[in-house]
Amino acid sequence: METYFEHLINATYQAYQDILIKKHGNIYPLRSAVVKFGGFQLSYNWHGRTRLGKEEIGNLTIYTKEIHLNILFAYCLAGLKSDIPNFTDHFGFRKLINTIAHELAHCLMANYKLNFGQEHGTEHQELTQDIEAFLWTLYEVKELERLQNWKELVKGLG
């Protein structure tokens, strides 16, 4: 499952890098080639998070980006129940796609500016909405959404 999310994150990141380069020109000095999916982690105060890093090797500077998602998304994808009020509203499939878009917006904005004082400003919100709309068009997302109805799919086999 982690490979699936790594692919989905990077396919979207690459597509949106190309869109932003066409829109603004190739002015992204902090761009990284890939975004690592850091996996699912338990947290009670975030849905997803992005970690930005910088490594220097001699005169070469390498910028890294890593996205983590809350493990409760994986629980919800697996159909597990929770005592958390409105669990599927907070960690259901729609919120998962929104969270991926939100974290990718952080990664893309970090390509050309590291202004974290206004990280959730209008530009971030608009980019998140654009990425989310793009994600819903992808076969990978549509197929995973279809698999959320696995109980009905299994009934059809019997």
Q: Residue 32: its pLDDT value, please?
A: 80
pLDDT along the chain (158 residues), means of 10: 92 90 75 90 94 88 92 92 90 96 92 64 91 96 84 60
Is residue 77 situated within a structural domain?
yes
The token duo for 97 is 């796609």
Is residue 112 situated within a structural domain?
yes
Domains identified in the chain, total number: 1
Q: Residue 75: its pLDDT value, please?
A: 93
Q: Residue 153: its pLDDT value, please?
A: 58
Q: What is the 3-state secondary structure (H, E, C) of 77-115?
A: HCCCCCCCCCHHHHHCHHHHHHHHHHHHHHHHHCCCCCC
Q: Residue 61: its pLDDT value, please?
A: 83
What does pTM read for this prediction? 0.88
Is residue 153 situated within a structural domain?
no
The boundaries of the domain holding residue 103 are: 2-148
Enumerate residues 6+ apart whose C-beta is below 8 A from 115: 109
Is residue 158 situated within a structural domain?
no
Is residue 154 situated within a structural domain?
no
Is residue 155 situated within a structural domain?
no
Is residue 140 situated within a structural domain?
yes
Helix and strand element counts for the chain (H, E): 7, 3
**Rounded Cα gap, residues 21 and 81, in angstroms:** 43
Is residue 156 situated within a structural domain?
no
